[in-house]
Structure 1
Amino acid sequence: MKKYLVILLVLFIAIYLLPKSIPIILGLLTAIIFEPLILHLQNRWKLKRLLSVIIVFILFLSVTGFLGYLVLARLIEQFLYFSSNLPFLLAKLNVLFTIYMNQWEVFSATVPRDVIESIEGSFHSLEDSILNATSNLTQSILVFITTIPQLLIEILVYLIAFFLFSLDLRKLKIQVLSFFSDETRDKFLLMYHQLNRAGIGFLKAQLLFSVLTFILAYSGLLLLDVEYAVLLSIVIVFVDILPVLGTGSVLVPYAIYCFITNQQDTGIGLLILFLVITVVRRVIEPKVYSTNMGISPIASLISMYLGFQVLGFLGLILGPVVVIIYDTLKKAGILKFQFKI
């Protein structure tokens, strides 16, 4: 009884501290991901672990720093350009709004008053929604700016955790395994290797999807001669990672804006680009997940479809995860479900 109370107490503390330990957890996951590379350097070049860790850590900082600099430099450049043009865009929208209002006054003279009030009420609701969204966006930007110092501290903690975990990962693994019996240790190692493979495969799949989405979005926006192509492509990739949003939350509103501003060709092109990205993603997702996460294409397809039906876009990710966990528990002998007719 005492043992179970201790386990419950440890779980309660872990659940309480989990949201406050995100940088440390990410550092541990990064160390696990790069562990094969560290071992390869040790075995291939007969290097000490400290030197191997330093090499991998410097490479990680160099690559991420260089890519981050390129992306941020381009992003800031286009953001400043967009900010400088924002007054002209708002003035253009104001002129169009005045034209549409004049047309509306002519049209409303021939329509019953009840219908006019209903339509005007819908427009006012839409206007309030746009104002609220703009206000929320501004507040979010201000909040993000105020959290930059905290973000820098968390990045520093993440990098330190990554380095320290990389140094002591093998010792930590031995210490964790010492708490298990031989039978439980074998099951734990099997589950660890399966989930580790699936987790790394999932990250590879998401990276591939992000790169593919960026290439498709950037190429399409360049063909359409859209301004801020890099900025929009990065925003599309970011929202595409989020389970609820997706590329349509950027391309569709932008297409509507183009239709309002008499840029019908660009608006149609943006809708076609949205369909192309969506179709390509849905076609290759089952194959990519099955290749990188170790489940069959049919299991990946079914789990993604059912997950989408039950949980929406979030189910596209959680569906394959449930299948992987079930398959791992079954191989470890924890689930012994057998059915014969």
Structure 2
Amino acid sequence: MKEFEEKISKLGIFFICYTLIFLIFFKTLPYTIPFVLASLFALILRRPTRYLIKNFKIKDWFASLITTILFLSTVIIFIIISVGALANQLINLTKNVQHYLTDNSSYIMDKFTEVQDYFYNLNIDPSIINSVKDTATGSLSKIVNYSVSIGSGVVSLAISIVSYIPYIIMVIIFTLLATFLFTKKFAASNTKSLLSSFPIENNSLLGIIGKIRHKFFTYALSYMFLIFVTFLITFIGFYSFRINYALILSVLCAILDLLPVLGMPMVYIPLAGYNLLTGNYLVGIGLLILYAIVFITRQILEPKIMSTSLGLNPIAVLAAIFIGISVNGVGGMIFCMFLVVFYTVLKDEKVL
């Protein structure tokens, strides 16, 4: 009984501490983001920097400067090109959707009338038919409003980004400086020397930090792989169906894949509906089947890859994903996933 009480007490303390650290980390992230990014970048650049120091016999500060500038320049250029292309294509897409719905509203209503006549011939209650008609008309107006809001939202986002340029520049500068300093420190030191200042047994702390770091990067890479699978299947399907803006729509689906349940349908359902309304039934039905394939593939791969790569129980992973999404979407999923990861690591190290 006493051991059970001690275990419950440890679990309670662990959950409270983890929750506090999680909340503090994300609440303070706007103020600490340059140093968080710098730490992650420095860990990535540690080996390339050591390679330059060892093979080219150059000073550690110069090697750190080279890897930092090359890495951050590549990241910044990639982000600028990607965001610019995405915003431009998204604005053009929403404009075309608005123009099409406006110019072909009578054609679309004729289609609705044909469907209405079909239901009349089936001797269905007229009140039900009128209700369906009102719902369809309301849905059409909502689609127009959503497309307008998306386009204006992109413009507003671009304007807000411009207003944040001084802050963004400051973040970039501090991230650059901190990455250089952290990379120089990490490349010149081993993990044990970095932990020597902590009043905790280094072997134990080294094991915990090493496992957490490994699982963190494994989790990030695994999730990036899942998103890439979503992008690849979507792009192949869209390209095969000759969908306009196949590449940009596939990228958008991959990004929206971060939003559980409601993410990808925001692209798939309007596209399928558009093709069905215009009489392109093969493409419309094909897109619905393609979405079902992507959805089922994700549901099969996600628990399997996460459990295999992180060394966690598949049921625990599945429960963490479901509970987290149900409680608070993506944020809840991240909270529950890392809760399981930290608990597993601490349990393996006999801390819990």
TM-score by length of 1: 0.75
Tell whether 2:193 aligns with 1:180.
no
* 2: CA distance, partners of 1:215 / 1:89: 28
> In the comparison of the two structures, how many residue pairs are matched?
322
Give the one of 264, 267, 277 matched to 2:281: 264
What is the Cα deviation at residue 113 of structure 1? 6.1
Tell whether 2:248 aligns with 1:231.
yes
Give the one of 39, 53, 57 matched to 2:64: 53
What's 2:180 paired with? Answer: 163
What is the Cα deviation at residue 162 of structure 1? 2.7
Structure 2 counterparts to residues 209-220 of structure 1, below 5 A: 209-220=226-237
| RMSD, aligned CA | 3.9
The 3 A distance-change label for structure 1 pair 49 and 224 is same
* 1: CA distance, partners of 2:126 / 2:303: 54
Q: Deviations over 1:183-228 (max 9, x none)?
A: 2x43332221111111111222223223332222222111111110
Give the one of 202, 224, 231 matched to 2:219: 202
Counterpart contact for 1:305–1:316, Cα < 8 Å: no
SS in 1 for 2:244: coil
Counterpart contact for 2:257–2:264, Cα < 8 Å: yes
* 1: CA distance, partners of 2:291 / 2:26: 40
What's 1:137 paired with? Answer: 150
Q: Deviations over 1:317-337 (max 9, x none)?
A: 5555333211211233321xx
Q: Deviations over 1:19-49 (max 9, x none)?
A: 4333432232222233233334434544432
What is the Cα deviation at residue 159 of structure 1? 3.7
SS in 1 for 2:230: helix
Residue identity opposite 2:106 in structure 1: V
SS in 2 for 1:333: coil
TM-score by length of 2: 0.73
Give the one of 296, 302, 317 matched to 2:315: 302
Query: Any stretches of 5+ residues in structure 1 without a counterpart?
Result: 1-9, 336-341
Give the one of 250, 253, 264 matched to 1:247: 264
Residue identity opposite 1:195 in structure 2: I
What is the Cα deviation at residue 70 of structure 1? 5.8
* 2: CA distance, partners of 1:30 / 1:92: 50
What's 2:41 paired with? Answer: 30
* 1: CA distance, partners of 2:92 / 2:52: 45
What is the Cα deviation at residue 65 of structure 1? 5.0
Percent identity between the aligned chains? 25
* 1: CA distance, partners of 2:245 / 2:308: 35
* 2: CA distance, partners of 1:291 / 1:48: 40
What is the Cα deviation at residue 310 of structure 1? 2.3
Counterpart contact for 2:321–2:337, Cα < 8 Å: no
* 2: CA distance, partners of 1:111 / 1:92: 32
SS in 2 for 1:325: helix
* 2: CA distance, partners of 1:246 / 1:289: 20
Query: Any stretches of 5+ residues in structure 2 without a counterpart?
Result: 1-19
Q: Deviations over 1:132-161 (max 9, x none)?
A: 534542442233112223254344543443
